[in-house]
Structure 1
Amino acid sequence: MPRRPLTTSEKGFSLLALIIGLICALPYFGVILAATTGSFDTLVHLVETVLGRYALSTLWLVVLVSIGTFAIGTGSAWLVTMTEFRGRRFFEIALVLPLAFPAYVLAYAYTHVLDHPGIVQSSLRAVMGWGPRDYWFPEIRSLGGAAIMLTLVLYPYVYLLARAAFIAQNATPFFAARALGRGPMNAFFTVSLPMARPAIASGVLLAAMETIADFGTVSYFGVQTFATGIYTSWFSMADRGAAAQLSMGLLAFALLLAVLERTSRGDAKYDASRGSRPMARMVLSRRAGAGALALCASPVLLGVVIPVLALLTMAIGSEQNLFSRRYIMFITNSLTLAGVAALVTVGAAIILGTLYRVVPGRLSGLTLYLGRIGYAVPGGVIAVGLLVPLAAFDNALDAFMEARFDIDTGLLITGSIWALIGAYMIRFLAAALGAYEGGITAISENIDAASRVLGQGVFGTLRRVHVPLLSPSLLTAMLIVFVDVMKELPATLIMRPFNYDTLAVQAYRLASDERLQGAAVPSLVIAGIGLVPVILLCRQLAGRGRP
């Protein structure tokens, strides 16, 4: 059947979507081009010295965080969803709160608490009368310490998806296992857990992708990973070719995880038919209830309460004035970048999603795919991949204008705010698309048809129908992107304009100078802002949970 010709508005959307898709694809081509055309001298040196350590550290970090997020996220989701104990309703919501904290903020807080001069070791020495060499204490600044920090802030990914899967499960298979003599834990491991495996696997792989993208935590703890190697090659060695070559290796690993995440959602499914019998919560005994309470309280205590108290203590003793002109500038820069990036990213998501809804086909499908894969790519890789072609374009334009018109244009795009906004859009467009698609599926296509009958084109339908109906989903998308940009560190460090610092950069700089008390002030502001969308998400969870 021949396809109908596109209307003018549909052609306009197709052009905009194509431009967005090309922008999203630009860093991948930039990384590949710079990696294959640059000198391999630094890479050969890295291979002979530290590349194996980068790969092994990155792999171990992913494995440890995956195990930790699986255990905490799945276990806590099962307890609050399938059992009844004192405090369950509180922890059903509180277990999401660590998602508001960047891992590097927890790293600063726990270093202050657990390092040699910290309160824990100082108290031990005072009480026991020990000297500095009279005892052994676990080193927080280590690969294991970085894994713990990342686990504490990333397990909510697994918790949210596992909880949703457990809520949707039919109780019949579980009770059939109980009737066959299986105990509650045995039935959980043999029935409930396998049924929720696709959702749990997706959460674990999301946590793994965030782990390989982390720079602030591993950099501060001195853990050598691909992320720190990229930054070192770019700044310390001034070798962009080597940074691109390391970025290409990390990009391949990230895309592999993205493929695994999509496969886990697409291939392994279970039947949760309508009208199925919901799982009744098991009432725990007093001892079992106390154990469940302790297990659910531990990640909240370690991931929220202790870091906040530590940061508050540090901030009170610091010399940082949050209301000084300098800090007002940091806050203004952060809010400006996050606000503009949120608007641009959600706007791009609307364009891509609307085109795919109105004109499904190869172009709309390809641009939507390019928009989705950005969440799997670390910010440092996107920054390197963008700067290489943008710098080449600026240099070529400057040479042309100088030769033809004797005008020195300098660097128009490279090092500008808009280049950084583009990096944010590429990195977080998938989150905005997810929120958009979650809302648009609830709008019947008959409404679109009625709008067309009434003479509205794509722009008119979008402005008068979709946007008003999608306002809650779009607001959620903007809040998510806003907070993600506030926390983003590697792309900001590499691409920010000269002397244009943010709260995240200020926290990183102070912590790198071992001024942890000063770093607590911007860290608290970042965490405080991050709590806003998390609280909104918690309100949605409270309304969607099982009674």
Structure 2
Amino acid sequence: MSDNKVSPTSIGPRRAPVKGVRTGPFQLRFWDGWRLFTLAVALLVLVSLGVVCFSWLTPPAEIWQHLRQTLLARLLLNTLWLVLGVGVLTLVLGVSLAWLTATCEFPGRRFFSWSLLLPLAMPTYVLAFVFVGLLDFAGPVQTLWREWFGRAAWFPPIRSTPGVIIVMSLALYPYVYLLAKNAFQTQGRRAMEAAESLGCGSWEGFFRVALPMARPWIAGGVLLALMEALADFGAVSIFNYETFTTAIYKAWFGFFSLTTAAQLASLLVLLVFILIVVEQRLRARRRFSTARSSAHITRLTLRGWRAWAAAGFAGAVLLIAFGIPVFQLGVWTLSSFAAEFNVRYFALLGRSVALGLGAAVLICSTALVLSYAARRHSDTFTHGLVRVANLGYALPGAVLAVGIFIPMAALDNLLINFGETLFGWRLRPLLQGTVIIMLLAYLVRFLAPGFKPVDGAMHRVTPSIDEAARLSGLRGVALLGRIHLPMLRGGLLTAATIVFVDVMKEMPITLMTRPFGWETLAVKIFELTAEGEWERAALPAVALVVAGLVPIILFMRHSER
């Protein structure tokens, strides 16, 4: 006789497994700690956004009426010109340089292929005060110009709408360049050869075949550049170019009205989401496919004047966007180092590094938990929470500063009233004026760039590894710490590097939520440039530029591998 027995559970219809909950020996509770943590992070983002959007429920104050009558039209017009100008110029620079370095062969192509990314290491406000210092009326360029052509000689003003557009485009074009270059490289030469076989010339093939195929990547790069332009505070402040970010700062610290600041921030959020919707509608009902990238790409060899024109164009952009600013920062630093450098700079550097490291640890830890929660729970609800938690990157820093500060201040007042009512305690504010608010704002703002590398590395860990670890008795935190964490070191290092540099360069959140008397390198640059002290601002700017070069170098090394 056979010893096999029929179990009661093997008879009758089988239940369909609940989506997102594993069956068998490793069943998961719906509301476990991983999903609750994901919900808490998503709620933090939603509360920050909701506080800003629902600020209109309060009656408009007199300050807002004054701004509406005197300033709102100028803010809208300035923002419109900024979006149009930066969008067009970054599109032209990024796409043209990407096409040249990805599909053409000319002198210096390999050097320009990676060096054109270096302007990413230059914060927009650093590039802004360098050009204002060089090209302003009292700067060396205009001084020399008047000596050559007379005092009445006309010179284009740098503090103007074209000036701020050009400078911001030079700092932001690498977003378009990086994505467009990847798109052109994956196309190879097959598409262009097919177009040439149909009678299309080089220019016609570019506009009718290569450019439409690269449209999703180009649109994504332009959207990133425009979001950074709308979120910028330092550069537009240096140019005295009034935008919503400067108006939010003035409403908060000039008029001491958080309600007005929140209402202005809601308009800025609306503009950002309009850009996102427009970009998605432009790509709607379109399907794109790319060829598999190969180790060898046949490039179009440029000869004669075309080759040197391509090299000259790429060299001129790199020189203006990175070479001249770095050289001028070095000159100013050498001239002011002896008088400017003192023990206080160690404190500035220490605070900046501490904020960067603290935010990197917080954000990478949060990203790790979110990625693991999405891995454990494959249901739509959990993945929706993860997407909501990553929405903060679309919100400008000034908006997040308002959206985080208002609920934290309300929570502080609630705790103080609770302590006085029940226990008679006289508590001081526990959250306002502390680093906690800054770190929470950093978490919402930079979780997305920290989450992407970690989640990408998490997807390389096969599910069979999890099952084998569970059979060995590892579950939950032990499984994450002993199995996943060593395998995710590369993704965590990349995420930590990106977040560290982004926090070091972040100005509006740091400036608007810092404790009283706190100064960082970014805050020091703002204070000095507000007084026109370009040479004194060079020393902290050099430190930020050097810090910004770290992720660029790591990215280039990764690309070479």
Fold match, TM over 0.5? yes
- Structure 2 residue identity aligned to 1:87: G
Structure-2 residue corresponding to 1:412: 430
Structure-2 residue corresponding to 1:495: 513
- Asked if residue 175 in structure 1 is aligned to residue 196 in structure 2, the reply is no
Is 3-12 or 195-204 further displaced after alignment? 3-12
Cα deviation for residue 438 of structure 1 reads: 2.5
- Structure 2 residue identity aligned to 1:23: L
2:462 to 438, 444, 456: 444
Task: Give the 5 Å matches for 1:196-345.
Answer: 196-261=214-279, 268-274=286-292, 279-318=297-336, 324-345=342-363
Structure-2 residue corresponding to 1:24: 45
Contact 1:80–1:92 (CA under 8 A) maintained in structure 2: yes
Contact 1:503–1:526 (CA under 8 A) maintained in structure 2: yes
Is 529-538 or 319-328 further displaced after alignment? 319-328
- Structure 1 residue identity aligned to 2:328: A
Task: Give the 5 Å matches for 1:394-543.
Answer: 394-543=412-561
- Asked if residue 65 in structure 1 is aligned to residue 86 in structure 2, the reply is yes
Structure-1 residue corresponding to 2:127: 106
**1:16-73 CA distances to partner (integer Å, 9 max, x unpaired)?**
1122112222211221343422533222221211101111111210111111111111
| CA RMSD in angstroms, aligned pairs only | 2.0
SS of structure 2 residue aligned to 1:165 = helix
Task: Give the 5 Å matches for 1:133-148.
Answer: 134-148=152-166
- Structure 2 residue identity aligned to 1:56: L
Is 497-506 or 7-16 further displaced after alignment? 7-16
- Structure 1 residue identity aligned to 2:70: T
CA separation of 1:492/1:529 partners in 2, compared to 1, >3 Å: closer, same or farther?
same
Task: Give the 5 Å matches for 1:313-392.
Answer: 313-318=331-336, 324-392=342-410
**1:298-353 CA distances to partner (integer Å, 9 max, x unpaired)?**
22111111001111112222267675221111101100001100111111111111
CA separation of 1:94/1:105 partners in 2, compared to 1, >3 Å: closer, same or farther?
same
- Structure 1 residue identity aligned to 2:134: V
2 CA distance for matches of 1:269 and 1:444?
Answer: 29
2 CA distance for matches of 1:285 and 1:159?
Answer: 23
2 CA distance for matches of 1:262 and 1:303?
Answer: 30
Cα deviation for residue 170 of structure 1 reads: 4.8
Q: Which structure would you say has the larger Rg?
A: 2
2 CA distance for matches of 1:320 and 1:144?
Answer: 36
Contact 1:162–1:196 (CA under 8 A) maintained in structure 2: yes
- Structure 2 residue identity aligned to 1:532: V
Cα deviation for residue 190 of structure 1 reads: 0.9
CA separation of 1:275/1:18 partners in 2, compared to 1, >3 Å: closer, same or farther?
closer
Cα deviation for residue 106 of structure 1 reads: 0.6
Q: Give aligned pairs, total.
A: 540
Structure-1 residue corresponding to 2:143: 122
Is 514-523 or 318-327 further displaced after alignment? 318-327
**1:377-415 CA distances to partner (integer Å, 9 max, x unpaired)?**
000000001111111111121122122222222211122
The sequence identity of aligned pairs, in percent, is 38
**1:174-227 CA distances to partner (integer Å, 9 max, x unpaired)?**
111112222212211111110000000000001000010000011111111111
Contact 2:340–2:536 (CA under 8 A) maintained in structure 1: no
Contact 1:486–1:504 (CA under 8 A) maintained in structure 2: yes
Q: Which runs of 5+ in 1 are unaligned?
A: none
CA separation of 1:87/1:109 partners in 2, compared to 1, >3 Å: closer, same or farther?
same
Is 385-394 or 444-453 further displaced after alignment? 444-453
Is 244-253 or 467-476 further displaced after alignment? 467-476
Is 509-518 or 441-450 further displaced after alignment? 441-450
- Structure 2 residue identity aligned to 1:46: L
Contact 1:17–1:367 (CA under 8 A) maintained in structure 2: yes
TM-score, normalising length: structure 1: 0.94
Contact 1:102–1:153 (CA under 8 A) maintained in structure 2: yes
Cα deviation for residue 260 of structure 1 reads: 4.4
Contact 2:188–2:298 (CA under 8 A) maintained in structure 1: no
- Structure 2 residue identity aligned to 1:39: P
Cα deviation for residue 263 of structure 1 reads: 6.0
Is 104-113 or 432-441 further displaced after alignment? 432-441
Structure-2 residue corresponding to 1:92: 113
2 CA distance for matches of 1:457 and 1:266?
Answer: 42
CA separation of 1:65/1:474 partners in 2, compared to 1, >3 Å: closer, same or farther?
same
- Structure 1 residue identity aligned to 2:82: L
Contact 1:338–1:482 (CA under 8 A) maintained in structure 2: yes
